[in-house]
Amino acid sequence: MNDSARQTAMDVGDGELSVTEFGPADAPAVLLVHGITSSSRAWLAVTRHLPGLRLIAPDLRGRGRSSRLPPSTGLRHHAADLARVLDDLGVGPIPVVGHSMGAFVAVALAAARPDAVASLVLVDGGLPLERPVGDVLGPITARLAREFAGFDEARAFWHAHPAFAGREVPDLDAYSDYDLVGEPPHLRPAATPEAIAADALDLYGPDWYLEALRGLPGEVPLLRAPRGLVDEPGGLYPELPRNPVPAVTVTDVPDCNHYTIVMTDPGAGIVARSITP
């Protein structure tokens, strides 16, 4: 954790949600929401581009240091957790940036608590995925089933991952270490298939979510990665129209995949520049 980071545990009713804050405590605040099996450490590269802002990065329930909380019942459960965090911190309305599933959670939060959300930035997520999504979520669930004998083995897994192989990713070891729970030789990812089950169902676009999308006010940028979870061409949205819903405008971010759009440059810098505190 870098020198400007502060990690706290915040009560969300049925346990404590881990929240990391980066940057000055008295600066304008921004909420950063990570993806389906990720953690607050996915944002490390973005935080370096925004040293003058107060960046609030929770570990969603069932992930990272919040892995002991009961699994969510869906995206609206995460949105309720985040609303409680913002209320307890006394911030809002503030910009909300969501990556992958975090973009869906950001939309759900904006629909449930428009008073808490000043603006949205969606990063390679937030629009319903096409069914079937087995090939999309397959690499994720396979990783969650793994055990690692030690931290070095887990680091080697990530360095060989198609999304990162051959790339300079300064924060990858920190990201890998933070994600692990248990003790050697039985380390495993913090998230479990059970923790993501209800959330994954909401990514297809249930009626409540489509209504939330249609109700988004103002202009909402969606930054799209042209390559996917395993660096495959097309990414999560290979056939995405430029204006899928009235409020959302899609911009392609070159030279990145679903992970590197927030975890390396140039993606992290482009994401950072899209935020207006």
pLDDT in tens, 52-98: 999 999 999 999 999 999 999 999 999 999 999 999 999 989 999 99
Average model confidence (pLDDT) for the chain?
Answer: 92
In angstroms, the Cα distances linking 185 to 63, 95, 152, 222, 255 are 20, 41, 11, 41, 37
Question: Tell me, what's the pLDDT at 248?
Answer: 92
Instruction: Please spell the DSSP secondary structure of 69-102, one letter per residue.
Output: SPPPSSHHHHHHHHHHHHHHHT--SEEEEEETHH
Question: Tell me, what's the pLDDT at 132?
Answer: 59
Q: What structural domains does the chain harbor?
A: 6-130+198-273 (3.40.50.1820)
Question: Tell me, what's the pLDDT at 133?
Answer: 45
β partners of residue 55: 22, 30
| pTM > 0.75 | yes
Nearest to 4 by CA among 19, 18, 24: 24
| Band (123; pLDDT cuts 50, 70, 90) | very high
* Residue 168 buriedness (CB in 10 A; 0-12 / 13-18 / 19+): exposed
What φ, ψ does residue 261 adopt, rounded to 5°? -60, -25
Question: Tell me, what's the pLDDT at 131?
Answer: 75
Compute the distance between CA of residue 38 and CA of residue 20 in angstroms, rounded to an integer: 14
Instruction: Judge whether 136 and 113 are in contact, CB under 8 Å.
Output: no
Helix H or strand E encompassing 275: none
For 19-60, the pLDDT digits (tens) are: 999 999 999 999 999 999 999 999 999 999 999 999 999 999
Question: Tell me, what's the pLDDT at 142?
Answer: 79
In angstroms, the Cα distances linking 251 to 88, 129, 224 are 34, 17, 6
Compute the distance between CA of residue 109 and CA of residue 213 in angstroms, rounded to an integer: 11
For 196-246, the pLDDT digits (tens) are: 989 999 999 999 999 999 999 889 999 999 999 999 999 999 887 655 688
